Structure 1
Amino acid sequence: MAFLRGLALKANQERRMLVLFLLCASAGIPAAAGLDGCDNCHVHAICVNKSDNSGEVCICKYGFVGNGRTSCQDKNECQIGDMKICGQHTRCYNTYGSYHCTCLPGYSPSNNKASFIPNDGTNCQDIDECSLTGVCGEGGQCRNLDGTFECRCELGYRVHNGREPFNPKQDQASCRVVDCGRPVTADNTELLSITGTTYGSVAAFACDKGFIWAGGDNRSVCGAEGQWRGSPMVCEEVDCGSPPAFPHTRILWNKKSTVGTQVIYQCISGYHNVGKGNVSICDAAGQWEEPHVLCQEVLCGDPPTLPQTGYVWNGSSTHGSTVSYFCKIGFYYSEGENVSLCTVNGSWTKPNILCKEVRCGAPPTIPHSVTLWNEIPTVGSQVIYECKTGYHSVGRRNISLCTATGEWDEATLLCQEIRCRDPIIKPHSKILWDGASRIGSVVFYQCEEGYRSRSLKNYSVCRDNGQWEDIDLWCEEISCGPPLILPHTNLVWDHTSRPGSLVLYECVGGFYQESGNNVSVCALSGEWVEVSMKCRAKCGPVPSLTNAQVVWYNSSVVAHRCVDGYHSWRGTNVSVCVWQEATMRCTKVKPPITHLHVFNEKCVQWRAEKYEEDTESYRIIYKGTRDFQWSFYDMRQQYLKSKAEQLKICLNLLPLTNYNISITALSARFTVTITINTTLPAPPVPVVYYREYDTPEPTLRLRRLASTLDLISSYQVFVLPIEDILVFDCSSHGGLDSTVKNKLSSEYIAAKISLKSVGTEVNFTVGDGHYYGGFYNSPLEKGRNYYIILRAVSHWRTALRSSCALWAKIRGTSYVLRVSSLCAAASVGLCALAIIGGYSFIWYGRNTVELR
């Protein structure tokens, strides 16, 4: 693509000029040239056409240098230095016809591969060794450094066999936990427990038996310096003093009060100990243990209980108190003593009263009933009466209880025989019954003439609840319904379906009665009598279909089939006499996918052969590889559903890639494949900050996109002196070689910046006198005006694409002339200011005189 850009300058400052920029982004250039003809190309060379179409020439392949015919030698890309060819923290390895890079120890490539070529934007990044658990060992703290790391010990750990900081991969140092050893115990103390002897361990102490804690710490902690922390524990001997006194007791004691001394308590006369103990011991805490002694006055307590008896008592349990016993309800006194006395030793005398149980005997009977009871005739037992089957209760009370008098109380139950009323009347039926209405009696039902039963049961039974069983019997009028329809016939019928109704059958036009009877009668069974009539058609010649043949014929039915090379396209394939012609259409067989092609290197289009209204599902699989990047593999797939005949889908294909595209019609199981090689696209226009400068060495800014998929190989800086008319071709490849000069123009290349030297922001100073990519950035001539052009280049094998941007304009006005101009302008300004000031002073003086 080419374009023209004109720039107009001010008339009083610069002469009029027109700058025409021709940017062609799709131009291709050869990498090297040799002699004409390709008869004897070197084994590592290829044959290409010259750019002017004047013939063919042999050029060495990428990675080789030579004349293409007699020599193509391996080019050692690594000889310019590891950092220059591969970037920082790298090592370059030359291979036959190519090279690759690896990262130094402590660094890893950004593409996570063992080797790389840096033109894809890969660089070496520092490895964070501290992200690995335990890299510094137990107790070590890791600190990541550029290309390495270092370790220090945590609190509670010390460096062993070295000093901090240290690297366990290079040194023999490591961190070991601080050990304080076993703690020392103070006088009259003992070590109670210890969690360990390392940093943070805790030791607990206790006083010896007979001593009590008086001061100091009873715990000690192992510190980071390897010493036990805490003041020593102080223990003093225990003294419990005099033992406590309790009511109604006396003490037996040897007058000592040290740990382990015992005191015995005894109740005085008239009392006895009801507590759980009578001994107190001086404990290690300097206290007498509570003896749990309790002396109470002697009492007999509650009187004893006897079976089947109650007693009369005033609540006193002192010596001489009495209790009288009596028999409970349901029992009677038989023999024995019924009085108990409280004795001096605190116990009641045992009475020997005997109470026997009252029994009522067998319960009375009630006519037509049964008794339900547990066969136990004691007081409170009950008997339940229920009427026998066929009888129901008319009394109010059906329970009898055994009373304390030894008799059963009276039950008022009366049982009468159960009888059902007259049976239920069912419509359109008659009853067959012997008149009996006892339980189990049966009534039969029969439908009247002309009706039939629509139930599973035609009888009712008298139930024990005095009701006839309700049945869902109903009598339905007999109806044969509509008569049977026979093929090719009409009916002569009065539309009645009662028993005896008639239907007459006649053949329709075009048919005649071949055999059988043509009359049907409605029978008492509710069905029409079967008709055996058959009507035969009067058929003509067999119909024929386009591109079809007859495969079966039985004089009234014809089956058709498409001939070879054609298939059925909707419709039926059967013709019936009188001929209803088959609707099948036979169309020529075509593949489900035809006319497949790729356009714009992105989209795929094809034609679908199917039924118009059918929806077909398609699976598109595309796989891509690259000749220059063996590890590259792009495989993706998409699905599409459509009823259309013409289909198109656009794919996100990557540049410089060999793609194999397969499209499958899933329902037809048909697959077609097409291949495409995508070309090198034009790089994006460089993002620059355009400015105009008056200085001869301006610093320009370039901003590169963060994406590393822009396929840019390098940047070139062009310096163009401004003339009357200037034409700049962005696609011109003369600037690729630092040895090629443009003799027809005074333009030149000031720098070639490799992609590996470009970050997201780049500053470049024009005319600094340095070399960039083999090009000399010469100082600008004073007094001349320039345009600075930045060109982005994508270069692969013989293909080259480029795009340009106007970066800056530099004015060549000299510094002396600019200072002189400024001084002249300042002088004119001062003169004008002096004239205006004088005129104002004269005007002010005149006005003052007039006022006076």
Structure 2
Amino acid sequence: MGQGPRGTRRSPGCGLQRLLWLLLLLSLARGASGEPGTDDVCATCHEHATCQQKEGKRICICNYGFWGNGRTRCVDKDECQFGATVICGNHTSCHNTPGGFYCVCHTGYRATNNKKMFIPNDGTFCADVDECEDSGLCRRGGRCINTPGSFECYCMEGYVAKNGSEPFHPHADATSCTEISCGSPPEVQNAILVGNHSSSQGSVAHYDCEEGFESPGGKITSVCTDSGSWSEITYACAEIAMVIHDVWVFNDTCVRWQRSPERVNSKVTYLIHTERLQPDAVESVYEETINVTTDSKTPEVCLHLQQGANYTVSISAAPPRRSVPASLSFQTAEDGLLEDDGIFNISVFNETCLKLNRHSRQAGSEQMYQVEALGQRWYLENFYHAVSYNFTTRDQAPKLCLDLLPATDYMINITLLRPTELRSAQVTVTTSATEPPLPEVDFFTVRGRLLPSFRLRKAKEINGPISSYQVLVLPLSLQSTFSCDSEGITSFFGNASPADGYVAAEILASDVPDDTLEISIGDRLYYGEYYNAPLKTVNEYCILLRITSEWNKVRRYSCAVMAEVKDSSLTVQQMVGVGLGSVAFVTILAFLSFSAV
């Protein structure tokens, strides 16, 4: 019964086991060859995703800047959708990129990392660019003002905008700054332009009246304004009233006189009015007026007069010429008697002294005179000054000096009282002005750049008419050497060097109120033709007030120191001194600080 190998039968379990091993080998082989296997998840990741190991598993995650499931979808995130200000900061624009973004500063701003594009993950932000660092940005005459993200151009002082208005932008506008030029100064009737002048802004044209004319209101000037035109001239040259004086009789029937001011080669027509007083009241009064035209400095005329009669001769300039007339009363001699007791000539010397020349048939005879002087001032209403007294003398040419006030017009009448009939002569005298009274100021010292403020008090015109008040700014070093009557000091723009000092303000006397006028030094305003410039911080100054009195084209000055502006640094001793100062001084400083603010 036995069987050989050929008849052996195998168990069915062996075949199944073989099949399982075969499938396992195929699976391993497929994995080793890159076919989907254990790594089939990573192979399915999206192109903008990365396969990462998490918790023992491989998963697909979208790259930074994308969102989705990592396998079938990874969509770009738009970071800029939240706004450039939120993402990039102020003054920026946001630009999205696949998977990211970048920021760019607006025009007029610059990234703090000095790069055109940036991502604000390192604190970079956009800062304003100061375009005005380019000195020539606004071109010649232009002044640059920086603004957030941009700039503006304005014209400097002395320049005006042309082909447009201010402010302007040189890259977008055709506006440019042209130096202000007012051209030739205007003509003033009966005046001439004096000195060198410029046509630029702030230049001042000065005028002097022609001979025989004057400007009663004050100095005639015109300023080149920032509009490119000359300022209006407020004063004018008026003809000076001719004064007739020193009238005397010679050759019994001839009259000679003097005139002032003298005008070379100018003919004047005079009206000679003669009036004869008759001794008999029944007879009529004889009157006659004749014209005499002459350019003589001492005109004279011979009249047809009766002998032994009383006459009054009045002399004046014919209209429209203005004049201050003069008159003389006298008696003609009897037949054959040409000399008679009386005054026939009065001359003036030393301004307030008189010399009388008289005829007398009796040499050394005693005669009594009455002197009456009446003074008036055209610049003061209701002002009168009278001088009257008698004197007796035997001198043929007596001299006398009168106590006259300065800057006053006097009419002086001298009458012979005895031993003959009343006879008189007249003469006019104009006395010179003297220095005006010293300015009334409250002196103070200012330390630092606190703008000193002062009160201008009106001075009394006791020595002559006051024309103006000037504020002078001088380096402190010049205080001891400065001469008050110096006329070389000019305006802030006209001085050669700040070390020479300058006139900061000029106020006409007519513009000063009866009480006070307050001015702050360096307030950048114009006072008259002068610019009140700010004080430089590196210098120490002395501030003076100068009063000017002008009479007959002669100027007189008086000065007073108002303030000293010194360096702000105080030593310990100075600080203690200031702390122990008087209550009044502290009060003044507090007031000045309040005024400056």
For this structure pair, what is the TM-score category when the shorter chain's length is used for normalisation?
0.3 to 0.5
Q: Which has the higher helix share?
A: 2
- What TM-score results when the alignment is normalised by the length of structure 1? 0.26
- What TM-score results when the alignment is normalised by the length of structure 2? 0.35
